[in-house]
Copies of this chain bind each other. A is one copy, B any other.
Amino acid sequence: MNQEHVQQLEAAIQAVAQRKVSNFYFVACGGSLANVTPAQYILDREIEIPSAAYSSNEFIHRSPKALGPSSVVITCSHSGNTPETVAATAFAREKGALTICLTNLVDSPLWEAAEFKLHYNYAPYGEALRGEETSMAILYRLVFGILQTLYPNEKYANAISSIENGLHGVYERNKALTLDAAKAFGRNYKREKLIYTMASGINYSVAYSFAICLLQEMQWIHSSAIHSGEYFHGPFEITDFDVPFIVIKGLGETRPLDDRAYDFCVKYSDKTILIDAETFDLEGISPDVRSYFTNLVAGVVLRQYAQHLSEETGHALSVRRYMWKMEY
Listed in ascending order, the chain A residues whose CB lies under 8 Å from chain B are 23, 29-33, 41, 44-50, 52, 55-58, 61-66, 68, 82, 84, 194, 200-201, 211-213, 216-218, 220-225, 227, 229-230, 232-239, 253-254, 256-257, 260, 264, 268, 320-323, 328
Contacts and interface: CB of A to CB of B under 8 A. Distances in A.
Nearest to A50: B50
A237 B323 contact: yes
Given A55-B227, A224-B223, A238-B222, A62 B233 contact: no
A66 to B, nearest CB: 4
Given A31-B234, A222-B224, A260-B328, 5 more contacts: A23-B50, A44-B66, A50-B52, A55-B227, A222-B238
Contact of A44 (B44, B64, B229): B64
B222 A194 contact: yes
Contact of A229 (B29, B222, B256, B257): B29
Contacts of A232: 29-30, 323, 328
A234 to B, nearest CB: 4
A321 B241 CA distance: 13
6 contacts: A33-B230, A45-B64, A48-B66, A61-B257, A217-B237, A218-B237
A177 to B, nearest CB: 27
A192 to B, nearest CB: 12
A30 B212 contact: no
A44 B65 contact: yes
A229 B84 contact: yes
- List the 4 closest A-B pairs by CB distance, nearest first: A30-B233, A224-B224, A212-B234, A50-B50
A50 B220 CA distance: 38
* Copy count, this protein chain: 2
A46 B62 CA distance: 10
Contacts of A64: 44-45
Contacts of A212: 230, 233-235
Contacts of A200: 57-58, 61
A218 B194 CA distance: 19
A303 B322 CA distance: 33
A267 to B, nearest CB: 9
A49 B23 CA distance: 10
B239 A322 contact: yes
A56 B217 contact: no
B217 A264 contact: no
Contacts of A253: 61-63
A235 B214 CA distance: 10
A128 to B, nearest CB: 26
Nearest to A202: B62
Contacts of A58: 200-201, 227, 229, 254, 257
